[in-house]
Structure 1
Amino acid sequence: MMPIYTIFTMLYVINTILISISATDTGNETDHLALLAFKSKITHDPRGVLKSWNDSTEFCQWEGVVCGHRHKRITALLLHDEGLAGTLSPYIGNFSFLRILSMSNNTLTGHIPPEVGRLFRLEILELKYNSFEGEIPANISGCLQLNKLVLSHNKLVGKIPFELRFLSRLQQLRLDQNNLTGDDLSMLANLTSLQALVLSSQIEQGGLGFQGSIPDFIGTFQDLNVLALGANSFTGKIPTSLYNLSMLQVFSLGTNFLEGRLPSEFGLYFPQLQLLEIAENRLTGPIPLSLSNLSMLEEINLSSNEFNGKFEFDGSNMQNLSKLFLFSNHLGNGDLDDLGFLNTLTNNTSFKVLNMNDNRFGGIIPDSIGNLSATTIWLDLRANLISGRIPFGFGNLLNLRSLLLSYNRIIGAIPADISHIPGLQLLDLSRNQLSGNIPLSLENLTWLSTLDLSFNKIRGALPPTLANCTSLLQLDLNDNNLVGNIPYQLFQALTLYELKLDHNHLQGSIPSEISNLQKLVILDMSSNNLSGNVPSSLSQCVALTDLYIGSNSLDGFIPPSFKLLKGLEIVDLSHNKFSGQVPDYFSNFSSLKVLNLSFNNLEGNVPTKGVFTNLSGVSLVGNRKLCGGIPQLKLPLCPTMKSKGKKKSYTLLIAVLVSCVIIGLATATSAYLLCTRKKRRASSSETLHKKRFIKVSYDMLLKATNGYSPANLIGSGGFSSVYKGTLLLDGTSKDVAIKVMNNQQSEASKSFLAECLALRIIRHRNLVGVITACSSIDFQGNDFKALVYEFMSNGSLDRWLHPSAEQDEQFQSLSLLQRLNIAIDVAQALDYIHSGNETPIIHCNLKPTNILLDQDLTAHVGDFGLVKLLPKMSEQLYNSSSIGVRGTVGYAAPCKFIRALSVDLSKQLDEGFTSSHFQLN
């Protein structure tokens, strides 16, 4: 017979198992309900990750959900990089077995629910790259097992909760890129297990963030390998206790108000350091030679301080060094060997970026600079005291994108081997003492976008072969000794938007081929020896905002065709030999701010409207036969006609009537011919750009998009991502769409260039309006290219034709009339780019996702990254097998109405349409 104690033992075990099973069942249901509550707060699920969250499968099989093997309780929620929008449900606190909560890189908003503090088993909490607001909940201190807390790149405010001192197991604390403030960080003193402390604030908030001195106790975190306290308002000196952190790999204190000197032994303290970033402070003194001992360094950024003296540096032991930023200091003594440190970088196979502009480096550029790594993409030596000649050898740097040597004392000729750099995009040699001719071989630089040789002593003729630089946007050759005629071939550089040839000795007339530069925004040919009439074809450069042709010997009338240049802002025609009357059309130019017509032979009445009412904006001195105008101009009154008798009156009357009849007939004939020949181009002339493209930097676009926050992401493709941003335009904030190229894709640069070329040619009310472009490098020295467009508030046509279940009701349907209007808009856009433009263009990627709608549901065609620019359009082109959809793999929703309408829109509209002509799929 079984002993009694054995029976009791068995009963106890059975009871325990039953209780455990019961508890598990209850817990499972709790987790299940919490998941459903979590899902209910998600308002947008673009990748459909939550579609599997239904009753057809057990919740442990739902995507992003991880359960434990023993109790089948949820231990991890892994929903990062899914683009989820909505808020974080307070039911998150019911996952009592949760160890990992990872929801980074989404677009979640609202507050972080304090119920997170109930997750006492939680070890990892990652919510970076969202838009969470409010303060960090103090209840997080209840997660006593937490070892990783990452809340970076949100909109959190306030102070760090004092209760965080209880998280003694914490190894990573990353709160950067928020709006946190405070001058007391004592709550962190107990976090002695920290390996990463990142409290960098948002750069754009400037002067805010954490204040006071950097706490000494940070130097007691012996395991710390990442310390990033940048973009705050820390003051005082760098605490000496930080030099005890021998495990540091990242030391970043940039953009604060730190002062003092770096100790001479600095380079002995951090043997494992990979990133040293202390830019934008007030540090002084020499840069320690011991820095050369940091053999693991990959990036050094000491820019924008007050470092001075000789830069004694030996990079021969730094095989991983890729970026060296020294700009905006007082380094160098103007000595001949100031640039000797460049010799020590030649064995470094990883080197990419050197920026040392705005210092006092003297001497000559060593020949060894051509032996830098072939990976070098950026060399910036501007604004120093460099002398001597440009050495041969730059042609060895086959991946160089930018070479900047302006504002120095360099002499001699431009080496021809610079033209051997196939991908060079920016060449700035201005403000030196260069002589000799412009090398003909520069025509090989087909990717060159900016060539600036201004303020030198370059002589000889302008090479017509510069037109072969087919990507050229800016050509600045002003203030040199160039002679001869302006070659007409130069005006075949169709991408030019800025051309400066002023203050040279150029002669002859302005070639009529200047009409080819229809993207030209700034033209400066002043202070030369040009003569003859101004070609009326210049009026075809309808994007012009700044026109400077003063101080020449130009004569004749100011062309009547200039009335087409309605976007002009500055016009300088002074010091020439122009005759005739002051054109009245200038008074109708609403954007015209400065008009200088002084010292010519103009005569007659001066208009009294527009710019002519602005005494500070108009100059008419030196024209002795002018009269009238507003009284403030103090010009003589214009004489009036007096009667000479009836005979003369009748004769004059007849002459006037005959003249009117002749002019009327001529006008009617001209109007008929113009209407017939240019009817197809009428729509494009309505929306010509009236303002020059603003200049934007990477930093401006970074701020405009909140650091390219996923919350601002509105679209993405194979070569780019599009963000909504806010830029200051004309003194007011304006929403824009910023298309950032993905330069990791090999075709991205070609797509960017293709889009720039197309958008500089075309202007139409039914094309997405481009505001500006940016080609630069980011703060890590990587290539950065972006286009800035007008923001289309109603999104893409695809969004209206094929709305997802989660979208608002406003995207559910379009009326027949709206569809008709959209069809006509798109057809007009295609008709324009096919046959209404000087250079025919094939879009090659037209689909509903590339048709955008503004607030009035007016359609605008966009995405010109795959266009084809053709020398000639023909009817056969529409049937060519070489033209087709190039950007979409697989099924692309068609727009069947496009082709029919684009052939002859005006004819079909005259015949009338019925709804059967249109089908939006």
Structure 2
Amino acid sequence: MKLTTLSLLAFKSMISDDPQGVLDSWNTSFHFCQWEGVTCGHQHRRVTVLDLRLKTLTGSISPYIGNLSFLQRISLSHNFLQVGKIPLELTYLSKLEMLIIHYNNLTQGIPPSIGNLTSLLGLCDPFFHLQSFLTYNVGSKWKSVSRNSSIRHRLHSSIPSLQVLDVWGNRLSGPIPLSIANASQLSRLVIDSNNFTGQVSVNFRNLEQLSYVELGDNSLGTGKYGDLSFLSSLANCSSLPILEQSINNFGGPLPNFVANLSSQLTSYKIAENQVSGSIPLGIANLAGLTILAMDGNHLTGRIPLKIGNLHRLQRVALNYNLQPTRRRYSTLSRKPFSFLNELHLENNTLEGTIPPSLGNCKLLVLLNLSHNNLNGTIPSQLFGASALSNSLNLAPSRLSGSLPSEIGHLITLGELDVSNNELSGVIPSSLGSCTGLEWLNMGGNFYQGSILSSLSSLKGVQNLDLSRNDLSGDIPDFFGKAFVEASKPKL
């Protein structure tokens, strides 16, 4: 017990600044099991957890931490620990299962011998300023190669106990090592925000425990057909709720066997890639989806009506897509989503009318249909989605007719943009009920008449554009603080 006390006090002595005073209790007046951030086992009263995350500590990690032989978890993230490398003595902690050290200022690499910790289940080191790369012998041995080089060595032996591999926010490059497939107990694979390249050739079939796969913000893929063939090997991951592939170079069509992904999948993001072709009908089989983000690709064709069967969808982003083919133009799905919060369909080539059934999306807070080729009138039923509080953007398109008086139902709406359409008539007085408005753009239409005094209730408007209409009369004083672009009054 004396050795434990001395080792913890040695750790404290290497902390040069403790603005929160979290180590004030670290003194011999109390048993070390009562010290803040220290957890002991119930039977043997040995230190099992050292948790000092988010304490804004400055200093370095003491090598004497290696004397705490019963430690199972070390969490030192979100501090200002710096100067040198992680102590080699950490490799003496044979019972260590979790090492969480991200968001610090450590400047040198993790010692290769840390791979001897056969009980290690996970290491989390995003934004760790590596002096060297980590190459996993995913078995218990780690090798380092030079910074900014590719991972040259394969992972030769398996580490079936590894459950978490989180290295996001580094500068790791090269292909994803094939031998990750040997980590049969892996539940979280997080490698986003690195420089990984090439096709994903890892066979995920044996990784049945995977519950989180984060590949985003790399340079994975070749931009060509076949880049997404690896998705078929994820079919065995029956408990996979999160799959993130955004901001890469994946090309070719999204294969229809995406339908074979886990029924537990709740979030699928493949935005900002080079995916082409149509949205596969099989995606409608992913009944648990709440988030579908496919924006910023080269998708063509129609939005499948069967997507409307995904009743749990809360956020759909298909914007910046759906370029028309020669024979077939994109049309807007006419089937609503009951739990939808956000629908992003801007910057496509959608044609046709706005389906009135969108008004059945009672939880919708954001609807963006801007920069399309929609025509017809704005259906009054659209404003049945009274939860719309963030933004309604219908500009520019070829919408005609008047702005329905039902707009007044959206009393909490923050932004309304119906500019650059062919809307006509007078500005409805019910618009004055939208007291939450901060941004109002109705420019580039055919509105007539005067600016109604009923709009004086829009006290929160900061940006107002009524330009390029046929309005007459004066600009009311109550809009004095708003940025107003109005056409010259025609008296």
**TM superposition score normalised by structure 2:** 0.86
For the Cα contact (< 8 Å) 1:474–1:496, is it kept in 2?
A: yes
Instruction: Please point out which of 88, 95, 108 is paired with 1:213.
Output: 108
Q: Which residue of 1 aligns with 2:333?
A: 439
Q: Which residue of 1 aligns with 2:74?
A: 174
Any idea what SS the aligned residue of 2:129 has? strand
1:565 has 2:458 as partner? yes
For the Cα contact (< 8 Å) 2:90–2:114, is it kept in 1?
A: no
Report how far residue 441 of structure 1 moved.
1.8
Greater Rg by CA: 1
Question: How do residues 178-217 of structure 1 correspond to structure 2 at under 5 angstroms?
Answer: 179-185=79-85, 188-189=88-89, 192-196=92-96, 200-201=100-101, 203=103, 209-216=104-111
Question: How do residues 295-374 of structure 1 correspond to structure 2 at under 5 angstroms?
Answer: 295-374=184-263
Report how far residue 336 of structure 1 moved.
1.0
Q: Percent identity?
A: 29
Any idea what SS the aligned residue of 2:303 has? coil
Return the alpha-carbon distance in structure 2 between the equivalents of residues 283 and 220 of structure 1.
Answer: 19
Letter in structure 1 aligned against 2:193: S
Return the alpha-carbon distance in structure 2 between the equivalents of residues 190 and 390 of structure 1.
Answer: 50
Question: How do residues 823-862 of structure 1 correspond to structure 2 at under 5 angstroms?
Answer: none
Pair 1:226–1:158, CA change in 2 (3 A): farther
For the Cα contact (< 8 Å) 1:236–1:259, is it kept in 2?
A: no
1:409 has 2:409 as partner? no
Instruction: Please point out which of 426, 434, 446 is paired with 1:533.
Output: 426
Higher relative contact order (CA 8 A, sep 6+): 2
Any idea what SS the aligned residue of 2:281 has? coil
1:577 has 2:470 as partner? yes
Segment drifting more, 409-418 vs 304-313: 304-313
Report how far residue 180 of structure 1 moved.
4.6
1:111 has 2:23 as partner? yes
Return the alpha-carbon distance in structure 2 between the equivalents of residues 166 and 368 of structure 1.
Answer: 49
Pair 1:446–1:149, CA change in 2 (3 A): closer
Letter in structure 1 aligned against 2:470: K
Instruction: Please point out which of 601, 610, 621 is paired with 2:489.
Output: 601
Gap regions ≥5 residues in structure 1: 1-74, 76-92, 94-107, 131-139, 204-208, 604-921
Instruction: Please point out which of 338, 345, 353 is paired with 1:461.
Output: 353
Q: Which residue of 1 aligns with 2:326?
A: none
Instruction: Please point out which of 261, 275, 278 is paired with 1:389.
Output: 278
Report how far residue 519 of structure 1 moved.
1.4
Report how far residue 145 of structure 1 moved.
8.7
Letter in structure 1 aligned against 2:333: P
Question: How do residues 422-433 of structure 1 correspond to structure 2 at under 5 angstroms?
Answer: 422-433=311-322
* CA-to-aligned-CA distance 1:344-388 (integer Å, 9 cap, x gap): 112321111111011110100111111211100001010110111
Question: How do residues 795-806 of structure 1 correspond to structure 2 at under 5 angstroms?
Answer: none
For the Cα contact (< 8 Å) 1:183–1:210, is it kept in 2?
A: yes
Instruction: Please point out which of 132, 148, 171 is paired with 2:48.
Output: 148
Return the alpha-carbon distance in structure 2 between the equivalents of residues 349 and 313 of structure 1.
Answer: 17
Return the alpha-carbon distance in structure 2 between the equivalents of residues 454 and 524 of structure 1.
Answer: 13
For the Cα contact (< 8 Å) 1:127–1:150, is it kept in 2?
A: no
Return the alpha-carbon distance in structure 1 between the equivalents of residues 279 and 130 of structure 2.
Answer: 42
1:270 has 2:159 as partner? yes
Return the alpha-carbon distance in structure 2 between the equivalents of residues 191 and 343 of structure 1.
Answer: 38
Return the alpha-carbon distance in structure 1 between the equivalents of residues 78 and 172 of structure 2.
Answer: 26
Return the alpha-carbon distance in structure 1 between the equivalents of residues 290 and 249 of structure 2.
Answer: 24
Q: Which residue of 2 aligns with 1:545?
A: 438
Letter in structure 1 aligned against 2:27: E
1:237 has 2:139 as partner? no
Instruction: Please point out which of 379, 392, 395 is paired with 1:499.
Output: 392
Q: Which residue of 2 aligns with 1:290?
A: 179
Report how far residue 175 of structure 1 moved.
3.8
Any idea what SS the aligned residue of 2:335 has? helix
Pair 1:484–1:430, CA change in 2 (3 A): same
Q: Which residue of 2 aligns with 1:228?
A: 123
Report how far residue 115 of structure 1 moved.
3.1
Letter in structure 2 aligned against 1:439: S
Return the alpha-carbon distance in structure 1 between the equivalents of residues 314 and 115 of structure 2.
Answer: 48
Report how far residue 154 of structure 1 moved.
5.2
Any idea what SS the aligned residue of 1:235 has? coil
Gap regions ≥5 residues in structure 2: 6-19, 324-328
1:520 has 2:413 as partner? yes
For the Cα contact (< 8 Å) 1:309–1:332, is it kept in 2?
A: yes
Report how far residue 292 of structure 1 moved.
2.5
For the Cα contact (< 8 Å) 1:410–1:432, is it kept in 2?
A: yes
* CA-to-aligned-CA distance 1:156-186 (integer Å, 9 cap, x gap): 6233564726726344351423525132457
Report how far residue 291 of structure 1 moved.
2.4
Report how far residue 213 of structure 1 moved.
1.1
Any idea what SS the aligned residue of 1:346 has? helix
For the Cα contact (< 8 Å) 2:227–2:252, is it kept in 1?
A: yes
1:472 has 2:367 as partner? no
Q: Which residue of 2 aligns with 1:510?
A: 403
Instruction: Please point out which of 442, 447, 459 is paired with 1:554.
Output: 447
For the Cα contact (< 8 Å) 1:129–1:153, is it kept in 2?
A: no
Report how far residue 271 of structure 1 moved.
3.8
Return the alpha-carbon distance in structure 2 between the equivalents of residues 495 and 147 of structure 1.
Answer: 51
For the Cα contact (< 8 Å) 1:354–1:379, is it kept in 2?
A: yes
Pair 1:184–1:440, CA change in 2 (3 A): closer
Q: Which residue of 2 aligns with 1:890?
A: none
Letter in structure 2 aligned against 1:601: P
Report how far residue 188 of structure 1 moved.
4.8
Report how far residue 223 of structure 1 moved.
4.0
Any idea what SS the aligned residue of 1:580 has? coil
Letter in structure 2 aligned against 1:302: I
Report how far residue 296 of structure 1 moved.
2.0
Q: Which residue of 2 aligns with 1:887?
A: none
Letter in structure 1 aligned against 2:365: L
Any idea what SS the aligned residue of 1:441 has? coil
Pair 1:385–1:554, CA change in 2 (3 A): same
For the Cα contact (< 8 Å) 2:265–2:289, is it kept in 1?
A: yes
Greater helix content: 1
Report how far residue 149 of structure 1 moved.
4.4
* CA-to-aligned-CA distance 1:240-299 (integer Å, 9 cap, x gap): 6x74x7348xx9x9xxx9633223412635343221111111111121223223222211
Q: Which residue of 2 aligns with 1:692?
A: none
For the Cα contact (< 8 Å) 2:84–2:108, is it kept in 1?
A: no
**TM superposition score normalised by structure 1:** 0.47
Instruction: Please point out which of 46, 58, 65 is paired with 1:158.
Output: 58
Report how far residue 517 of structure 1 moved.
1.1
Pair 1:561–1:286, CA change in 2 (3 A): same
Any idea what SS the aligned residue of 1:115 has? coil
Report how far residue 116 of structure 1 moved.
4.1
* CA-to-aligned-CA distance 1:87-133 (integer Å, 9 cap, x gap): xxxxxx9xxxxxxxxxxxxxx975343434885xx7x6774499xxx
Return the alpha-carbon distance in structure 1 between the equivalents of residues 357 and 163 of structure 2.
Answer: 46
Letter in structure 2 aligned against 1:464: P
Return the alpha-carbon distance in structure 2 between the equivalents of residues 173 and 486 of structure 1.
Answer: 58
Return the alpha-carbon distance in structure 2 between the equivalents of residues 401 and 129 of structure 1.
Answer: 39
Pair 1:173–1:422, CA change in 2 (3 A): closer
